[in-house]
Amino acid sequence: MANYRLDLQYEGTRYDGWQKQGNTKNTIQGRLETLLGEYCKEEIALIGSGRTDAGAHAAGQVANFHTTKKLDEEDLRDYLNDHLPGDIGVTKVQAVEEAFHARHHASQKVYVYRVWNSRVKNVLEGRYLFQSPEELDLEQMKQAAAHLVGTHDFRSFCANGRMKKSTVRTVFSIDIQRIGEEVRLTFCGNGFLYNMVRMMAGTLLQVGEGKLLPEEMPSILEQKNRQAAGVTLPAKGLLLQSVSYGDSPKS
């Protein structure tokens, strides 16, 4: 079987997220599988590096699929881009070794959460920003973020309360910077739980607003209870920036 890796971008506004659910075809995965099936003339199962939420965006999602066919990479890329709607795009198609698995072999993911910290809405980039006009203390946010970096049980930051698998993840870094009226939070980790980035961003925003203290972060983690953490910010501010594959099998 041949194995192909797709590098993908999408503006998630119109979609019910990455993953096919029941009969809904309005997912990124669903749209791609339909077109891949037509191109390959066989049923295709597309494996994403992970789900992204309804309304969240991606600049560097990665997926792979197996097929009995030998494909021309550029031709497939152009076919998909020609047939996909304008808000989904394929930046690269690449033959990879048969064992490559977009989810299992992902070693690092970078998510960006963009806050538009102004009373005045941003029209030109509004669909990628969550607007929050309250004044933010970035130093406090950075102190709080430092407590979340590292290997922890992030159950308090998991929207799936009945999660059976391990909720331990490693956050390599959380970068917080102001770019004009934007406050950009960049999360780098080996993986993230359901809604984890949006909850960490919400919790850090509440720290910035003075509603939570940096020193409360260890206790929030220790409680292993979703009620302990702060609010979940809307998906529209969330972007999957990139997925890295460091371990063998190499992509």
Q: Which residues contact a second copy by CB under 8 A? A: 9-11, 57, 59, 77-78, 81, 86-92, 119-124, 126-128
Residue 170, strand partner residues: 151
CB-facing half-sphere around the CA of 118: CA atoms within 13 A: 14
Q: How far apart are CB 103 and a second copy at their closest, in Å?
A: 22
The helices-and-strands tally (H runs, E runs) of the chain is: 5, 10
Q: How far apart are CB 236 and a second copy at their closest, in Å?
A: 11
Can you tell me the distance from the alpha carbon of 141 to that of 202, in angstroms, rounded to the nearest whole number? Answer: 11
Q: How far apart are CB 120 and a second copy at their closest, in Å?
A: 5
**Any idea which residue has 């669909």 for tokens?**
127
Nearest to 61 by CA among 125, 30, 18, 31: 18
Q: How far apart are CB 90 and a second copy at their closest, in Å?
A: 7
Can you tell me the distance from the alpha carbon of 19 to that of 103, in angstroms, rounded to the nearest whole number? Answer: 13
Q: Which is nearer to a second copy, 131 or 143 (CB)?
A: 131
The distance in angstroms from the start CA to the end CA of the chain is 16
SS3 for 66?
strand
* CA dihedral sign, ordered 42, 48, 54, 56: negative
Can you tell me the distance from the alpha carbon of 77 to that of 37, in angstroms, rounded to the nearest whole number? Answer: 14
Q: Which is nearer to a second copy, 37 or 89 (CB)?
A: 89
Can you tell me the distance from the alpha carbon of 176 to that of 95, in angstroms, rounded to the nearest whole number? Answer: 36
> Which member of 53, 87, 175, 247 is catalytic?
53
Q: Which is nearer to a second copy, 15 or 154 (CB)?
A: 15
Q: Which is nearer to a second copy, 73 or 216 (CB)?
A: 73
Mark whether 53 is an active-site residue. yes
Cis amide bond preceding 249, omega within 30: yes
Q: Which is nearer to a second copy, 22 or 86 (CB)?
A: 86
Q: How far apart are CB 220 and a second copy at their closest, in Å?
A: 33
**Are 251 and 108 in contact, with CB atoms under 8 Å apart?**
no
Q: Which positions are catalytic?
A: 53
